[in-house]
Structure 1
């Protein structure tokens, strides 16, 4: 056996990286995470899905989240609320079709990622912060990553028997190995920030993310994510041509879009911006393959869809769980078919989310969401996917997503719409 510094190196110390580290250490493996930033640091993806709770449990990290949620201002979440042109509808995740956790949290990612990183260190992982990966090589027996310390500018090499790329939007290995491909999804842009919300509407449910459709542009939408400390994350998403305002600052643009929706502008009438207004664009991505010789891609490093259904963290953690099981087997000498044991099954769930994303923007799924209240069994199945259970093949809308939604479009008539 070739001598290496570690059994596994992980590029990135976000949720997929730290969960992967903890899963691998359960098998006695030596793990080093290399992170470009210093923690805590800002990230998007603040509204978790209930399926993620099971993955955190498998990594022995769930208790840490539960014990610290209140102190860190995380908000209990039990569903999603949707609003479009006067129509409200709610999905209660505890009424979903698929067994498993039905509640989760809405989290400030700086604190959430830092919490998971601290827990990974407690469990035995080594994390090297402020390290930029500049090169990656593999010789069939192990891997070598070259890194630059962003504080000292010193260069070093780290060898391992296997490498996982959990670098998120940094997409380190796809860039270094020319694995990137254009996404099938339209390129969109988001503008967002945090507010001290001062919301006093008695009907507002802080336990749910609120997704609002723009009143005149059906493919433009807003998120409103409440936190437990009377603050909210608010963003608007649309195609770049719809969002960019050449004569306005980001703050002015965001406030203008908020003012265009009566319900959202009423809720946020007394809100105060308390953070930098940020933007991210061209975030949808894809790659030629999710694995290679002695490496695999996790989460956003492989494929990122769209923020509309908050699927990013769930896909990331799912990929960590699936990949780590195979890494352990490979390092124990088993022959692994990464295509059929990792890429194919992981992409099955991603494809379900992708279909939902496309159907949201062509508005066919919007019709289903707003007019499904008269179909409780069907609503429970849709609810399961919105809760993150996109790999449950017992759910007809997972097994045959396109056909199921097309049929559902025909039976969900506007007359059944909820006006709660």
Structure 2
């Protein structure tokens, strides 16, 4: 097995990580073992470049963000894992549904009604299993993959060009690794963005997410069984996600303004159940369900970065930026960014151009498409917005709205959709 000390080989008698085969020099180092890092390392390694992928936590590790957009199909196709996804036992996701603050359920948005190809169905995934699948795939394609390895620093020369990284393995041994490119997939830790002062929070989306898991929650019926459901609270000050996973487990999370939900030092568990009492669409779904595990929180998670690439480095996934989780765009964006950045890195090595311009050559097109999801998020948080009312007023936009929910954001503009949406909200004021 190449690399791969994360597969419990440390349990072999006499084995020491300090004797592992991590090299002192690589073409490319990818930091962060999530979807962005795993996909980027796979593509770069597949192209024949010496690639190191490191993750600070033991793999598999817990992570929230289980719902996929159907457009992940094409990323999985590129990575060669669509068949593995079908065989993994993940909950199938064929629709999205919305529930108003009064408990009124919208008609499900069935993706197949818009496009009946296999790419219009996706999955709800346990991230521990899903991320490890991607980590394993990177190793299969030639990357040296190490978990329990922390990134300590990134080295630059006098011209601000990356020359290497400093890492610390699970035995506490610090190593300096030479490389020509660093791909930062460190998620919301945003290693390089924080180091270089590039992180910019969205002042209008200062939210907190409070979540846990339940067994036995009431799901939709038939093809709507695996639907992601978005449910508003009575005052529309918060909303809940309902994400059905395999084995009868459902992810349930509450999202609202940080200042509102946690004012006065409110405890997350108390806030969660207070908001649940205010959510008429969710209460009956959990009436006979059993909560599993602890209550978890994440705060102020919507942000962007003022610079996405430099000489010898590029940001991907949540290290690049993150949009509110309401439309489940996070994993799809991470995969898309990882592949696009990796293609730019491979092309850069081929042309001997590892400049900021080359490594970030994909970012303008990506941001142009991602803006439509960001606009849809901002519309969602307007109390004047109702997806059901908008669909009645503008049935001609149902296909384009479904496109956004599927993740098809790079092919055509949604400008007219949002002009009509803005007028709809103004009329509701």
TM-score, normalized by the shorter chain, greater than 0.5: yes
1:172 pairs with 2:191: yes
Aligned to 1:383: 402
Aligned to 1:86: 103
Aligned to 2:245: 227
1:133 to partner: Cα distance: 1.3
1:101 to partner: Cα distance: 1.7
Residue 81 of structure 1: SS of its match in structure 2? strand
Q: Structure 2: any 5+ residue segments left out of the alignment?
A: 1-22
Residue 142 of structure 2: SS of its match in structure 1? coil
Structure 2 CA distance for aligned equivalents of residues 42 and 133 of structure 1: 19
Runs (4+) of structure 1 moved beyond 4 Å?
97-100, 200-204, 245-249, 373-376, 407-411
User: Aligned pair count?
Assistant: 401
Residue 23 of structure 1: SS of its match in structure 2? helix
- The answer as to whether partners of 1:82 and 1:370 remain within 8 angstroms in 2 is no
- The answer as to whether partners of 1:368 and 1:409 remain within 8 angstroms in 2 is no
Aligned to 2:275: 257
1:142 to partner: Cα distance: 5.1
Aligned to 1:32: 52
What are the superposed Cα offsets for residues 309-354 of structure 1, whole Å, 9 maximum, x if unpaired?
A: 1111111111112211111111012557348732211111221111
Aligned to 1:18: 38
1:62 pairs with 2:82: yes
Aligned to 2:287: 269
1:228 to partner: Cα distance: 2.2
Rate the CA distance shift 1:232–1:339 in 2: closer, same or farther, 3 A. Answer: same
Structure 1 CA distance for aligned equivalents of residues 274 and 243 of structure 2: 19
Rate the CA distance shift 1:200–1:191 in 2: closer, same or farther, 3 A. Answer: closer
Structure 1 CA distance for aligned equivalents of residues 125 and 221 of structure 2: 23
After superposition, where does 1:355-366 map in structure 2 within 5 Å?
A: 355-364=375-384, 366=385
Structure 2 CA distance for aligned equivalents of residues 79 and 124 of structure 1: 36
Structure 1 CA distance for aligned equivalents of residues 155 and 420 of structure 2: 45
- The answer as to whether partners of 2:228 and 2:243 remain within 8 angstroms in 1 is yes
- The answer as to whether partners of 2:104 and 2:281 remain within 8 angstroms in 1 is no
TM-score normalised to structure 1 length: 0.88
What are the superposed Cα offsets for residues 394-419 of structure 1, whole Å, 9 maximum, x if unpaired?
A: xx41x5564253356589x9xxxxxx
Residue 363 of structure 1: SS of its match in structure 2? coil
1:106 pairs with 2:153: no
1:240 pairs with 2:258: yes
Residue 293 of structure 2: SS of its match in structure 1? coil
- The answer as to whether partners of 1:75 and 1:105 remain within 8 angstroms in 2 is yes
Aligned to 1:157: 176
Which of residues 208, 211, 226 in structure 2 aligns to 1:207? 226
Aligned to 1:322: 340
What are the superposed Cα offsets for residues 352-400 of structure 1, whole Å, 9 maximum, x if unpaired?
A: 1111111111135x4234441574441111111011112121xx41x55
Which of residues 321, 326, 351 in structure 1 aligns to 2:371? 351
Q: Structure 1: any 5+ residue segments left out of the alignment?
A: 414-420
Residue 27 of structure 2: SS of its match in structure 1? strand
1:201 to partner: Cα distance: 7.3
- The answer as to whether partners of 2:27 and 2:50 remain within 8 angstroms in 1 is yes
Rate the CA distance shift 1:383–1:237 in 2: closer, same or farther, 3 A. Answer: same
Which of residues 422, 425, 429 in structure 2 aligns to 1:406? 422
TM-score normalised to structure 2 length: 0.86
Residue 66 of structure 2: SS of its match in structure 1? coil
Aligned to 1:416: none
Residue 82 of structure 1: SS of its match in structure 2? strand
1:161 to partner: Cα distance: 2.0
1:200 to partner: Cα distance: 7.3
Structure 1 CA distance for aligned equivalents of residues 264 and 222 of structure 2: 37
- The answer as to whether partners of 1:138 and 1:293 remain within 8 angstroms in 2 is no
1:262 to partner: Cα distance: 2.2
Structure 1 CA distance for aligned equivalents of residues 134 and 407 of structure 2: 20
1:255 to partner: Cα distance: 2.3
Rate the CA distance shift 1:400–1:333 in 2: closer, same or farther, 3 A. Answer: farther
Rate the CA distance shift 1:76–1:229 in 2: closer, same or farther, 3 A. Answer: same
Aligned to 1:194: 213
Which of residues 202, 219, 244 in structure 2 aligns to 1:183? 202
Residue 321 of structure 1: SS of its match in structure 2? helix
- The answer as to whether partners of 1:146 and 1:158 remain within 8 angstroms in 2 is yes
Rate the CA distance shift 1:355–1:219 in 2: closer, same or farther, 3 A. Answer: farther
Structure 1 CA distance for aligned equivalents of residues 280 and 306 of structure 2: 43
